[in-house]
Structure 1
Amino acid sequence: MSTESVDGDAETPVTVTESAASEALSLLEGEGLDTDVAGLRLFVQQGGCAGLSYGMRFDDEPESDDAVTEHHGLRIFVDPASRRYIGGSVLDYESGLQAAGFHVENPNVVSECGCGESFRT
Structure 2
Amino acid sequence: MSTGTAEGDVGTRIEVTETAADEALSLLESEDMDTDVSGLRLFVQQGGCAGLSYGMRFDDEPESDDTIFEHHGLRVFVDPASMKYIEGSVLDYEGGLQGAGFHVENPNVVSECGCGESFRT
Instruction: Classify the TM-score, shorter chain.
Output: over 0.9
1:35 is aligned to 35
1:16 is aligned to 16
- Once residues 78 and 69 of structure 1 are traced to their aligned partners in structure 2, the CA distance between those partners, rounded to angstroms, is 8
1:72 is aligned to 72
Provide the aligned length of Structure 1 versus Structure 2. 117
2:48 is aligned to 48
Contact 1:13 1:78 in 2 (8 A): no
- Once residues 108 and 82 of structure 1 are traced to their aligned partners in structure 2, the CA distance between those partners, rounded to angstroms, is 12
2:59 is aligned to 59
- Once residues 4 and 100 of structure 1 are traced to their aligned partners in structure 2, the CA distance between those partners, rounded to angstroms, is 28
Any stretches of 5+ residues in structure 2 without a counterpart? none
Which is further off, 95-104 or 43-52? 95-104
Three-state SS of the structure 2 residue aligned to 1:91 is strand
Give me the CA root mean square deviation. Answer: 1.4
1:26 is aligned to 26
Q: Deviations over 1:17-72 (max 9, x none)?
A: 00000000000000000000000000000000000000000000000000001000
- Once residues 4 and 24 of structure 1 are traced to their aligned partners in structure 2, the CA distance between those partners, rounded to angstroms, is 20
Identity of aligned residues (%): 80
Three-state SS of the structure 2 residue aligned to 1:75 is strand
Structure 1 residue 97 displacement after superposition: 3.2
Structure 1 residue 4 displacement after superposition: 4.5
Any stretches of 5+ residues in structure 1 without a counterpart? none
Structure 1 residue 99 displacement after superposition: 2.6
1:99 is aligned to 99
Three-state SS of the structure 2 residue aligned to 1:22 is helix
1:109 is aligned to 109
Contact 1:44 1:52 in 2 (8 A): yes
TM-score, normalized by length of structure 1?
Answer: 0.92
